Amino acid sequence: MRLIRTERFKRAYRKLENQEQERVKQALVRLLADRTYPALRVKRVQGTAKIWELRASRDIRVTFEIEDNTIILRNVGHHDPTLKNP
């Protein structure tokens, strides 16, 4: 499986603090290894058909889509703002 980062994801990632960026990196490594890893709490974003979210930390969420063998990273950030515009 491969990862593609959208421009929006890249911009949002750069705005995170270093510690938050490290948490996101760790979560993405786990996602690639096992999408069912319990700590990630992967689930569909409510009200969407193809957008998923994972929990990188207590407050940081990553939204993504899965197409074929590719994970498209859409957005990253704090819980409420990120999930309002996944």
What the chain holds in terms of domains, given with CATH numbers, is: 2-84 (3.30.2310.20)
8 A C-beta contact, residue 51 and residue 72: no
pLDDT at residue 62, rounded to an integer: 97
pLDDT score at 86: 78
Q: Given this model, what pLDDT does residue 84 score?
A: 79
Question: Band of the pLDDT at 40, cuts 50, 70, 90?
Answer: very high
Q: Give the tens place of pLDDT for each residue, 47-77.
A: 899 999 999 999 999 999 999 999 999 999 9
Separation of alpha carbons 81 and 62, rounded Å: 11
Instruction: Using CB atoms within 10 Å of the CB of residue 74, give its burial: 0 to 12 exposed, 13 to 18 middle, 19+ buried.
Output: buried
Average pLDDT (33-38) is 91
Q: How far is CA 31 from CA 11, 47, 50, 56, 84, in A?
A: 21, 22, 17, 10, 22
pLDDT (0 to 100) of residue 35: 87
